[in-house]
């Protein structure tokens, strides 16, 4: 039995770690009370951390899906919070598209449900499809618009499909929001790849959904188009729209998503902010040195201490990993003092989300 007088910081840390791993409130309560923590203490801390997280879930997902004998989604459970940007990552073939289709109500799960909490009620997406489609927009990997219609005609078409009464004013508003007003009379098939993706996103938000689901919104795009698309998504989110997206562009999720969920073997194995994932799942830091006269001298010394500097990431600038950042910085300071080499800058940071992804993929 856990002693009631034990420092409650230990309990809080266990709850936070449980959240990082994507555990639900009832799962954490059961695990912690079974381990001997007092039920009232567990409840108090669960409520405290839940209040810090924010409002109750807008969307509650608990689904499984098989194709033939293969289980693609195996009891994925995740709550989507109002106004957040939730990124879903995973290896190719991990089931991201299948999961998004169920979240958007386009694919029926074999087991479980997706529940929408709106208007002080909880609705099943699959039992109330006509009601649910008002609340969700879905942009798939393959475009939904018509090549032979103009940009404006496409948006008018989708506005009519949703039964909007203020079609022209809504279309004009969306055109301005996605910066396509100057292309509105151009055929959709004549747009660039990046502009076509933005048009597809525009079609998915024409009815002002509360939730926008995006499957690989910037796949196969050049750097400028990727930047434009993610800026459009950011602006949509800032108006209060909850965004759920799957992408392989992990660098773009770092600092963009509120949380990132890792899909592996049909399950969400981790779900937390990018900074929390990096904090929990990586024990190394990165140190970057910019030295005016080059880094050859430092490099030859650093290579002699593989335990302190286990990996050299790049040579110009000199970027290395270290599990002991304070000791490494003292070592570098001593080297600089001894060599008298001018240094332009030195910085310490956590590793990238890509590196965390690689680590999680090997677990």
Q: What is the pLDDT of residue 6?
A: 47
Q: Label residues 91-116 b or e (16+ Cβ within 10 Å = b).
A: eeebbbbbbbbbbbbebebeebebbb
By CB neighbour count within 10 A (0-12 exposed, 13-18 middle, 19+ buried), where does 263 fall?
buried
Q: Do the domains 282-361 and 59-277 match in fold? A: no
For the chain, give every domain's residue range: 9-53, 59-277, 282-361
User: Is the Cα torsion angle 358, 359, 360, 362 positive or negative in sign?
Assistant: positive
| CATH H-level, domain 59-277: superfamily | P-loop containing nucleotide triphosphate hydrolases (3.40.50.300)
Q: What is the pLDDT of residue 288?
A: 86
Q: What is the pLDDT of residue 4?
A: 45
Q: What is the pLDDT of residue 53?
A: 52
Per-residue pLDDT tens, the chain, 363 aa: give them: 444 444 566 777 777 666 555 555 666 777 888 888 888 888 787 777 666 655 568 999 999 999 999 999 999 999 999 999 999 999 888 999 999 999 999 999 999 999 999 887 889 999 998 888 899 999 999 889 999 999 999 999 999 999 999 999 999 999 999 999 999 999 999 999 999 999 999 999 999 999 999 999 988 888 899 999 999 999 999 999 999 999 887 877 888 999 999 999 899 988 988 888 877 666 778 888 887 666 677 788 888 888 898 888 777 788 888 888 889 888 888 887 776 667 778 888 877 777 777 767 766
Q: What is the pLDDT of residue 259?
A: 93
DSSP string, 280-332: HH---EEEEEEETT-SHHHHHHHTT-TTTS-EEEEETTEEEEES-HHHHHHHH
pTM of the model: 0.73
Report domain 282-361's class. alpha beta
């Amino acid at each position: 039995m856990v002693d009631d007088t034990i420092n409650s910081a230990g309990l809080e840390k266990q709850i936070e770690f449980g959240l990082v791993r994507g555990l639900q409130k009832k799962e954490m309560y059961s695990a912690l009370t079974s381990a001997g923590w007092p039920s009232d203490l567990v409840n108090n801390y669960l409520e405290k951390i839940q209040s810090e997280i924010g409002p109750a879930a807008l969307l509650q997902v608990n689904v499984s899906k098989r194709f033939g004998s293969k289980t693609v989604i195996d009891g994925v459970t995740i709550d989507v919070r109002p106004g957040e940007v939730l990124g879903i990552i995973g290896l190719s073939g991990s089931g991201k598209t299948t999961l998004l289709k169920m979240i958007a109500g386009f694919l029926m799960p074999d087991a479980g449900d997706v529940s929408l909490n709106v208007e002080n009620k909880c609705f099943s997406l699959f039992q109330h499809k006509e009601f649910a489609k008002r609340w969700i927009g879905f942009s798939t990997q393959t475009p939904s618009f018509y090549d032979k219609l103009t940009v404006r005609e496409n948006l008018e078409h989708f506005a009519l499909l949703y039964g909007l009464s203020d079609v022209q004013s809504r279309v004009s508003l969306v055109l301005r929001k996605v910066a396509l007003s100057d292309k509105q009379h151009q055929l959709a098939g004549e747009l660039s790849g990046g502009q076509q993706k933005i048009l597809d996103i525009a079609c998915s938000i024409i009815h002002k959904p509360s939730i926008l689901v995006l499957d690989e919104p910037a796949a196969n795009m050049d750097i400028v188009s990727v930047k434009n698309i993610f800026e459009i998504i950011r602006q949509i989110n800032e108006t209060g729209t909850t965004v759920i997206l799957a992408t392989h562009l992990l660098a773009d999720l770092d600092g963009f998503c509120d949380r990132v969920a890792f899909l592996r073997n049909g399950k969400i194995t981790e779900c937390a902010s990018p900074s929390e994932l990096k904090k929990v799942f990586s024990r190394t830091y990165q140190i970057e040195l910019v030295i005016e006269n080059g880094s050859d001298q430092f490099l030859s010394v650093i290579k002699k201490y593989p335990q302190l500097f286990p990996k050299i990431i790049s040579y110009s600038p000199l970027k290395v990993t270290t599990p002991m950042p304070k000791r490494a910085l003292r070592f570098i300071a001593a080297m600089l003092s001894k060599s008298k080499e001018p240094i332009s800058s030195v910085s310490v940071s956590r590793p990238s989300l890509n590196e965390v992804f690689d680590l999680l993929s090997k677990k």
